[in-house]
Homo-oligomer: A and B are copies of this chain.
Amino acid sequence: MGSVFDEKDFLACCGSTKFGKEMVAAAPFSTLQDSIRAARHIWFNKVDVNGWLEAFAAHPQIGQSPSKNHQSPTFAQWSKGEQSTALATATDSTLQELFEWNARYREKFGFVFLICASGRSTPEILAELKIRYQNRPIIEFEIAAQEQMKITELRLAKLFTEKADTAP
C-alpha cells in the first residue's frame, strides 16, 4: 500500500509551500524511510531561503501555544504535543526567562528560536537557546533548518502512523 497524503498533510509537517508541493510531486511513498529521504532532499536542495523563513514562521514561540487560528490545525496540535515535556518541567520563572530570551533571539536573528523540543525539558531548551544566541546569523539559520528537518521527520512518522490507523 502506498501513502495517500495530500499537500495539507505535508504542510502540517513543514510549513513551506514549496515543500508541500514538492512532496506531493514526489509521492506516493511506500515507506516512511522513502518519505524522509524525499523530504530531506527537497528541504535542503529545493526549498530556497525564503521557503525556510516561511516554514520557521509557522512555528509558535517555544513555550507558547500555536495561535488558535493557525492555518494547519494538525500542525498546531502536534506542536503542542512536542512541547509537552517542556511545559511539564516549566516553572513561572523559567517560562519568564524563556520568554525574554526568545525575544532577544528574535531581535538578533529575525525568526523564532526553533528546536526539536520532543522530550526536552525547559531548562535544557533555555540552555541551548543561550548557547545558540552567540552564533552568527547565517550559522544559526542553518542550525534552525536542521532542527526543522528533525521536527519534519517526527511528524512524517506521525502521519504514517495515523494514516495506517485509519486505513480501511
A137 contacts across to B, CB distance below 8 A: 45-49, 52
Please give me the residue from chain B that is nearest to A141 by CB atom.
B49
Instruction: Return the CB mask of A78-90 against B: 1 if under 8 Å, else 0.
Output: 0000000000000
**Cβ contact within 8 Å between A136 and B44:** yes
A145 contacts across to B, CB distance below 8 A: 138
Residue among B46, B110, B138 making CB contact with A141, cutoff 8 Å: B138
A108 contacts across to B, CB distance below 8 A: 48
Instruction: Return the CB mask of A47-60 against B: 1 if under 8 Å, else 0.
Output: 11111110000000
Cβ of A142 under 8 Å from chain B: yes
**Cβ contact within 8 Å between B49 and A53:** yes
Please give me the residue from chain B that is nearest to A109 by CB atom.
B48
User: How many subunits of this chain does the assembly comprise?
Assistant: 2
Count residues on chain A whose CB falls below 8 Å from chain B CBs: 20
Which of chain A's residues 39-78 have a Cβ closer than 8 Å to chain B? 44-53
State in angstroms the CA–CA spacing of A49 and B52 once bound together: 11
Which of chain A's residues 8-64 have a Cβ closer than 8 Å to chain B? 44-53
For the complex formed, measure the closest distance between the CB of A106 and the CB atoms of chain B, giving whole angstroms: 10
Which of chain A's residues 91-127 have a Cβ closer than 8 Å to chain B? 108-111
For the complex formed, measure the closest distance between the CB of A17 and the CB atoms of chain B, giving whole angstroms: 12
Please give me the residue from chain B that is nearest to A47 by CB atom.
B137
Instruction: Determine which residue in A51, A53, A137 has the highest number of CB atoms from chain B within 10 A of its CB, and name it.
Output: A137
A111 contacts across to B, CB distance below 8 A: 49
List residues of A whose CB falls within 8 A of some B CB. 44-53, 108-111, 136-138, 141-142, 145
